[in-house]
Amino acid sequence: MAAVYTGQGQIRIQPISIPQLGPGEILVRVEACGICHTDLKKVEHNLLPPPRIYGHESAGVVAAVGVGVTKYKPGDRVIAFHHIPCRNCFYCARKLYAQCDTYKRVGITAGFEPAGGGFAQYIRAMDWIVRDGVELIPEGVSFEAASFVEPVNTCLKAVVEAGPRPGDVVLIQGQGPIGLLFTMLVRRTGATVLATDAIPERLALARRFGAAEAWHPREVDVAARCKEITSGRGVDQVFVAASARGIVDQAIAASRPGSKILLFAQTSDTERIELSGADICKLERTLFGCYSASVDLQAESARLVFSGDLPVEELISHRLPLPAISEGIHKALHPDGKSLKIVVQPQRLS
């Protein structure tokens, strides 16, 4: 069974064949798959033609291996990244892995055009993914926690590229699952974290996970408070972990000259940002983007999750059976104080 995207924002539960393996490939029985906003945008805005089976934050058990596979065996508990770079091209040489043509090829499918496949009971990981993109899940780590390895990697990559230092003050806009991961990771660098979100329960979690202060952006003058905390300068860095009208303007207003502003949530071609050139050029700010995972950080992201250093399981608000995926997508698109990270369990059919 699988949750198949059929177009026009529709997901249908339907039977599909278990994928057949080629040489070097593995078949994984999916036990947990997180709902990611990247997939939500593809469904909500019909960004790719149907039919497809989305879901790429997958964890499960190896059910079968193809000819030539010796690194994994049936029964192994694994997570698998759906993108892995070639490591040999122009972009890989510069560690811009997400721009590599091989990286852009999705290497995991449950059927149809490869699209991650985690919203199905079985996925096929292709040979280049098996070589470099699979991590073993230790005993004692739940599949739901393990499904965070990929999103943690994407956040860790952004934190490494931004490079906050001890003593820096960093504003993180948005405290959904990704924003809260940023709060955890940035706090580990020794920087002071300030956070914004419109949902009170998420602000409380931000404080619990290390934010010095957390505010509703329409109830507090964020720029004024940031300057008050920093002797009038503004924050050293801003992580834009939400997509809302005016959010980048607020990042500019809250940050100091020479600051870094990282765009993380602005992944749609339809999003437009209009800024004063002087705010960037004259005030020497760096405005940059970060997207997807880094193969260089794969082992470290797995360690952070598997060791419990990041309490990712505390971010899970719902564990849903496969037929309830439309409910999960609705909750993720319209979050409230009771919804945060939503995980689908494809082996549950009721």
The DSSP code sequence of 191-223 is -EEEEE-S-HHHHHHHHHTT-SEEE-TTTS-HH
CB < 8 Å & 24+ apart, contacts of 200-208: 200/337, 201/337, 201/338, 202/175, 202/176, 202/337, 202/340, 203/175, 205/175, 205/180, 205/314, 205/315, 205/340, 206/172, 206/175, 206/179, 206/180
Inform me whether the pLDDT recorded for 46 exceeds 90. no
pLDDT attached to residue 270: 82
Structural domain containing residue 223:
153-289
Same domain, yes or no: 207 and 254: yes
Specify the CATH number for the domain of residue 270. Answer: 3.40.50.720
Same domain, yes or no: 28 and 117: yes
For 84, residues 6+ apart whose C-beta sits below 8 A from its C-beta are 102, 103, 107, 128, 129, 131, 132, 133, 295
Average pLDDT over residues 261-269: 92
- Pairing between β-strand 108-109 and β-strand 122-125 as defined by DSSP bridges: antiparallel
Same domain, yes or no: 36 and 84: yes
Average pLDDT over residues 326-332: 95
Share of the chain above pLDDT 90, in %: 94
Same domain, yes or no: 8 and 143: yes
Q: Is 127 within a domain? A: yes
Average pLDDT over residues 7-29: 96
Same domain, yes or no: 77 and 137: yes
Global pTM reads 0.96
Length of the chain: 350
Same domain, yes or no: 113 and 66: yes
Same domain, yes or no: 159 and 197: yes
CB 53 within 8 A of CB 111: yes
324 residue type, one letter: A
Q: Is 302 within a domain? A: no
The total number of structural domains in the chain stands at 2
Average pLDDT over residues 245-263: 97
The residues pairing with 6 across neighbouring beta strands, listed in sequence order, are none
Same domain, yes or no: 47 and 28: yes
What is the Cβ-side half-sphere exposure of residue 306, based on CA atoms within 13 angstroms? 17
| Chain CA centroid to CA 30, Å | 18
Average pLDDT over residues 205-228: 98
Same domain, yes or no: 221 and 264: yes
